[in-house]
Amino acid sequence: AEVLDHVLYRMGILTVLRSKVKNAVIGMMITASHNEEPDNGVKIVDPAGEMLESSWEAIATELANVPDAELTATLKKIINEHKINADAPANVIVGRDTRESGFSLSRAAIDGVNAANGSIKDFGVITTPQLHYLVACSNDPSYGEPTVEGYFSKLADAFLKVKEGKNRDAYVGEIYLDAANGVGAPAAKEFQNLLEGKLCIRVFNDGNGALNNK
């Protein structure tokens, strides 16, 4: 994680360009998923909440690895090849997990967005699914409210509707969650508060230990 500041800065710029191309909100999630605490990385999320188009993964790889002296020329090449309107608006959403490096890397990503004249919404510490949801709703408000509260509400409403359905004889209202000391622990606890007592989520490894540690 300590060598990624320049990569996140460049991905901030790339996300602005992607937003201009798609005329849509694009997301950046700073996380290394199931890797241990010292690692970190970034996922770019396309307008419908899906992962970045594969052809742009190659562009991201090139931009991440190009020498500093070639950065401007590489960006100009991307802009020309994709006929990007430099004056088009760009909107980016950023989130991060609970890794200690997440804050500084998010600052680097935001600096990149600002350097490319993009608009940024920083949601701080959230889960990766929440980031996907926020991007999708920002581009299609009919899907839901583009807030963390909207995410929990949509899930809770769906769960309660299923709970009220048929074939409930085998239902057991208790689950055990190993949250691996990650961002899922506080998220699960917040989600449970909306379930009207219909489900008890017992969270283990709830953030008091090392992230994703064996």
The closest alpha carbon to 182, from 80, 99, 68, belongs to: 99
Known catalytic residue at 54:
no
* DSSP letter for each residue of 60-120: HHHHHHS-GGGHHHHHHHHHHHTT--TTS--EEEEEE-S-TTHHHHHHHHHHHHHHTT-EE
Options 19, 33, 119, 153, the catalytic residue:
33
Structure tokens that stand for 90 in this block: 């760009």
Other Cβ atoms within 10 Å of 3 Cβ, number: 7
- Give the separation between CA 203 and CA 35, rounded to whole angstroms: 20
Structure tokens that stand for 177 in this block: 């969650």
Cβ atoms of 109 and 42 closer than 8 Å:
yes
- Give the separation between CA 124 and CA 163, rounded to whole angstroms: 32
Q: Which sequence positions are flagged as catalytic?
A: 33
